[in-house]
Amino acid sequence: MAMLCFIMPAFVSCDKDDPAAADAIIGTYSGTLGYSVMGFNPGTIEGTFDLKIMKDKNDKEDVIVVIPECTFAPPIPNARPFTIPSLTVNDVDVTASGDVYTFKEDSFTLTIDEKVYEGNNLIGTVKGKKVTLKYQLKPSSMPMDILFTFDGTLK
């Protein structure tokens, strides 16, 4: 019985994220930004974009992800260009599996200049100096979600 009490703590699982994992992905990543709307994949938005991953001072196990501002024309005939401002997503969970770090936030809602931006399925991975991020975003003025993808390298 004493032996069982001694080894049981080794089998206890903990849902807490690893602060070292959060520290490992902090930085600015420069890369490309693509998007698709309702299955139409127009490709990559022109330009180079910076994605920032910062420490969350309130929770050392989480990070803050700053999504870059972008301007694009929806794949609709005669559509005017549309600008989405830079969005700061707080409390993003980070986990590690070997040398791959995953950061994730199921949903977020941000209001900027009286416009609501509803986001979900923000998930990214960092391996070495490479980052991949995907997220869905629904600006208040659009009836459908936009799927964004970011691929970049640590500056």
Identify whether the C-beta of residue 139 lies closer than 8 Å to the C-beta of residue 119: no
Report the sign of the C-alpha dihedral through residues 144, 115, 32, 106, in that order. negative
Query: Which CATH number is 68's domain given?
Result: 2.40.128
In a domain, 6, yes or no: no
Identify whether the C-beta of residue 88 lies closer than 8 Å to the C-beta of residue 66: yes
In a domain, 3, yes or no: no
In a domain, 53, yes or no: yes
In a domain, 10, yes or no: no
Q: pLDDT value at position 18?
A: 64
In a domain, 145, yes or no: yes
Q: Which of 86, 58, 91, 88 is nearest to 70 (CA)?
A: 86
Q: How many domains does the chain have?
A: 1
| Residues spanned by the domain of 62 | 18-154
Give the bridge partners for 153, in sequence order: 30, 130
In a domain, 12, yes or no: no
pLDDT tens digits, 12-56: 334 344 668 999 999 999 999 999 988 777 788 999 999 999 999
Q: What is the DSSP string of 75-98?
A: SSTTPPPEEE--EEEEEEEEEEET
More confident residue, 111 or 73: 111
**pTM here?**
0.85
Instruction: Find the mean pLDDT for residues 100-119.
Output: 96
In a domain, 4, yes or no: no
In a domain, 77, yes or no: yes
